[in-house]
């Protein structure tokens, strides 16, 4: 996977949206494919935190809830803007209109807090 900020940002957004829609639709095969790509990008981010901080900033403010969920989870994993990431995940977890995605946000937060 090439280490190009624009390419990786777009790939992250695309796959977070696909994964979120697949979750809502119960399409685990498509969701797992997108999750695998997101996990590869997450690994790159964790390997070179400084290079990717501006990407995380933009992803954490993306209008798509599942983009925020994934980005905030990664931010918490690398201890980057942890308070902001927790606030965003908490806000999403309170959005009942998001269905299971709000539960994903809640679980993401609970896992990173060590409660699960």
Would you say domain 5-113 falls under CATH 1.25.40.70?
A: yes
CA distance 54 to 96: 30
> Residues 24-55: pLDDT tens digits?
999 999 999 999 999 999 999 999 999 899 99
Give the domain ranges of the chain: 5-113
The Cα-based distances of 33 to 2, 11, 17, 54, 113 in angstroms read 18, 13, 12, 26, 27
Q: How far apart are the first and last CA of the chain?
A: 31
Range name among 6-10, 60-64, 76-80, 112-116 with the lowest pLDDT average: 112-116
For residue 79, give both structure tokens.
């201890």
Give 70's pLDDT tier (boundaries 50, 70, 90): very high
pLDDT over 80 at 107, yes or no: yes
Q: For residues 92 and 63, is the Cβ–Cβ distance under 8 A?
A: no
What per-residue confidence (pLDDT) applies to 3?
A: 79
């Amino acid at each position: 996977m090439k280490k190009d900020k624009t390419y990786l940002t777009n790939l992250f957004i695309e796959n977070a949206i696909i994964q979120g829609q697949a979750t809502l639709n119960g399409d685990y095969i498509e969701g797992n494919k997108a999750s695998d790509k997101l996990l590869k990008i997450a690994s790159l981010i964790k390997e070179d935190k400084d290079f990717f901080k501006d990407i995380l900033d933009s992803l954490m403010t993306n209008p798509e809830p599942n983009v925020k969920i994934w980005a905030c989870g990664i931010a918490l994993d690398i201890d980057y803007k942890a308070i902001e990431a927790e606030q965003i995940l908490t806000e999403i977890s309170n959005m009942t209109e998001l269905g299971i995605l709000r539960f994903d946000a809640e679980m993401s937060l609970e896992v990173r807090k060590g409660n699960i």
